[in-house]
Chain A
Amino acid sequence: MPETSHQDQPTDGAPKDRAEWMGLLARAPERELEAAWQALASDLPEIGAGTYELLRGPEQGLVMVQGRAGGDGNAFNLGEMTVTRCAVRLADGTIGHGYVAGRAARHAELAAVFDGLLQTDRWAALVTDRVVLPVKTALGMAKAAKAAKTAATKVEFFTMVREQGVGPE
């Protein structure tokens, strides 16, 4: 889990590995990814529909979510969730994968394309700056706003000390 304090600093928050950027792309709102893709496509002649081909999907399926008895014991099956996955191949042969919660074909496709681009020396820095970091900042801000509202409901409970000899026991 990325730490919140790092999410507040977009300038040096580049993902440390592929797993992190895939997690960010999965959580990004689809409309943000679409807008970023359109902007890249209009700015750069090399980016567009021909940048990649679909290898698999996008296709919908299920993930069985597990929990642990008592939170830290043996695993059990909590229930399923919907998921959409997609795999794409870039012109240079790089394979990109997208796995996103819900039924979201376009989201999974865009996540896969960006995952592919982020693996290439040519596009990694650009896609990090224009797609991943804005997403990371926005998610961090939303999380911080939620945390602040939640923190306002933090409470101190006081127990009444009962005098000796008073009360049922």
Chain B
Amino acid sequence: MYVAVKGGEKAIDNAHALLAEERRGDTDVPELSLAQIKSQMGLAVDRVMGEGSLYDPDLGALAIKQAMGDLVEAVFLLRAYRTTLPRFAVSTPVDTAAMTIRRRISATFKDLPGGQVLGPTFDYTHRLLDFALAEDRTEGKESAQNTAEGDGAAMAGPMPRVTDLLGREGLVERETGSEAATATDTPAADLTREPLGFPAGRDLRLQNLARADEGFLLALGYSTQRGYGRTHPFAGEIRMGEVAVEIVPEELGFAIEIGDITVTECQMINQFAGSATEPPQFTRGYGLVFGRSERKSMSMALVDRSLRARELGEDIVAPAQDEEFVLYHSDNVEAQGFVQHLKLPHYVDFQSELVLVRALREEAEARRREAAE
């Protein structure tokens, strides 16, 4: 327990002023603009939007600037901001099969319809620091311009999901609800409106994972690979690009698109030996996140599959399979809040502990004296 204390207002004001000065840094260096953060620190913005669960690149850039690059703090700022806005609509589910592809790879099929498209990736770089980037290049516009072009028209062709290809042969499970895509839809659980409840449905789990801390998911996903709840995963497909967001405003009564968002999707394909009711087939883990975040979408897909242990009749023996453990600890806004609340005054609490420890020591001391006599 902590209690409110009075006083310290002046010190707090001064601390915030000092923070502002520290945020600005060396005033001989030009101040960062939001446009610079948005266009040159885009992956940081993507992460903040994803974990902040609010897609708005301008706000993501502002949050990063305000938080001095502390991305978890920036996530907190976005979460706080979203509470100030009313919700106008819930979109129809985005169609990732119709994505404008900017990257699409499969580790399971080398030749797949639509082809493998690397897009802008860190893969195959040597992870050597590029000191050319350290130079001030005020007139470097041309050198950064990439002129390689391919057959763009071919990109407009169909890009079926790998899971659809396997699904045609019945070798991979079908998603529940995929037969009747819209008719039987019940409203999806929404943890921004209802607190977490257990057992959690997959809709609730996926929402939680989509906004979960990337580091937490990465470690959990890694743990499944190392043997803590093995799921034998293959990266069936990873795709990144833009999808249209469509809503049906009440006053219009028909669907309109309000714009496009960038998302990354991962389909993990996992071994499954079959059960009493299911034939041997591949099972699926799914990752979908705002922005360009391949590592997180892969981690999410690994953990999604692990959390399906109960549904698939697997023993729950590892942290990544335990939905209460995962869902209660995945949110970095909640986690940092509870960890950091330890900084708040616990004076009264601590005083009582102090009294207790002193009393115990006196008791122990008295016993020792008695024993010695």
Contact = CB atoms under 8 A, between A and B. Distances in A.
B316 interface: no
A26 B100 CA distance: 17
A1 B98 contact: yes
Interface residues on B, range: 35 or more
Contact of A97 (B54, B161, B252): B252
Interface string A76-88: 1111111101010
Contact of B86 (A62, A144, A148, A153): A62
Contacts of A125: none
Contacts of A147: 100, 152-153, 155-156
A149 to B, nearest CB: 6
B203 A74 contact: yes
Contacts of A148: 149-152
A85 B54 CA distance: 17
Interface string B191-208: 110000000001110110
B189 interface: yes
B178 A63 contact: no
Contacts of B267: 70-71
B257 interface: yes
Contact of B90 (A63, A99, A150, A157): A63
A67 B288 contact: yes
B138 interface: no
A151 B151 contact: yes
A99 B204 CA distance: 28
Interface residues of A, number: 59
Interface in B129-158: 146, 148-156
Contact of B203 (A72, A77, A146): A77
A66 interface: yes
B245 A65 contact: yes
B93 A75 contact: yes
Interface in A6-34: 18-19, 22-23, 26-27
B244 A63 contact: no
Interface in B314-347: none
B281 interface: no
A73 B245 CA distance: 18
B368 interface: no
Given A23-B256, A99-B258, A101-B245, A75 B117 contact: no
A100 interface: yes
A101 B259 contact: yes
B87 A80 contact: yes
B326 to A, nearest CB: 16
Interface of B: 49-50, 53-56, 58-59, 82, 85-94, 96-98, 100-103, 110, 115-120, 146, 148-156, 161, 163-164, 175-178, 181, 185-186, 188-192, 202-204, 206-207, 210-211, 244-245, 247, 249, 251-252, 254-261, 263, 265, 267, 284, 286, 288-290
Given A85-B249, A150-B102, 5 more contacts: A26-B259, A62-B88, A70-B163, A82-B59, A148-B149
